[in-house]
Amino acid sequence: MTHPHTGHPGATGRPDDDRTVAGDGTTAERSPQDVAGDVVARVLARAGAAVQTGPTGHTSYDGDQLDLEERTSLRRVAGLSTELQDVSEVEYRQLRLERVVLVGISGEGTAEEAEISLRELAALAETAGSVVLDALIQRRRNPDPSTYLGSGKAAELGQLVRSSGADTVVVDDELAPSQRRALEDVVKVKVIDRTALILDIFAQHAKSREGKAQVELAQLEYLLPRLRGWGESMSRQAGGQVGGASAGMGSRGPGETKIELDRRRIRNRMAKLRREIAAMEPARATMRSSRRRNGVPSVAIAGYTNAGKSSLLNRLTGAGVLVENALFATLDPTVRRAQTPDGRLYTLSDTVGFVRHLPHQLVEAFRSTLEEVAEADLVLHVVDVSHPDPEGQISAVRQVFADIPGAMDVPEVIVLNKADAADPAVVARLRSREVHSIVVSARTGEGVEELLSLIADQLPRPGVHVDVVIPYGRGDLVSRVHTEGEIEVEQHTERGTALRAKVDAALAAELEQAAVAAS
Residue ranges and CATH numbers for the domains of the chain are 28-45+97-205 (3.40.50.11060), 293-458 (3.40.50.300), 464-518 (no CATH)
Q: How much is the pLDDT for 275?
A: 92
CA distance 372 to 407: 9
CA distance 206 to 110: 35
Q: How much is the pLDDT for 32?
A: 60
In terms of DSSP bridges, do strands 238-239 and 252-253 run parallel, antiparallel, or are they unpaired? parallel
Q: How much is the pLDDT for 402?
A: 87
Q: How much is the pLDDT for 74?
A: 46
Q: How much is the pLDDT for 328?
A: 62
Contacts 24+ apart (CB under 8 A), 113-116: 113/16, 113/389, 114/36, 114/39, 115/15, 115/39, 115/42, 115/43, 116/388, 116/389, 116/392
CA distance 129 to 132: 10
Residues 6+ apart with CB under 8 A from 273: 213, 216, 217, 220
CA distance 310 to 350: 7
CA distance 381 to 395: 11
What phi and psi, each to the nearest 5 degrees, are found at residue 178? -70, -35
Q: How much is the pLDDT for 426?
A: 92
CA distance 348 to 268: 37
First to last CA, the chain: 86
Q: How much is the pLDDT for 85?
A: 45
DSSP letter for each residue of 295-316: T--EEEEEEBTTSSHHHHHHHH
Q: What is the pLDDT of residues 9-68, one digit of tens each?
A: 333 334 444 444 444 444 446 566 666 667 677 767 666 555 443 334 556 555 444 454
CA distance 179 to 243: 35
CA distance 138 to 14: 19
Q: How much is the pLDDT for 466?
A: 87
CA distance 191 to 188: 9
Q: How much is the pLDDT for 432?
A: 92
pTM over 0.75: no
CA distance 310 to 302: 10
Q: Give the residue ranges of the chain where pLDDT is below 50.
A: 1-28, 51-56, 63-66, 68, 71-77, 80-94, 229-237, 239, 241-245
Q: What share of the chain is helix, strand, coil (3-state, %, to 5)?
A: 45, 20, 35
Q: How much is the pLDDT for 288?
A: 65
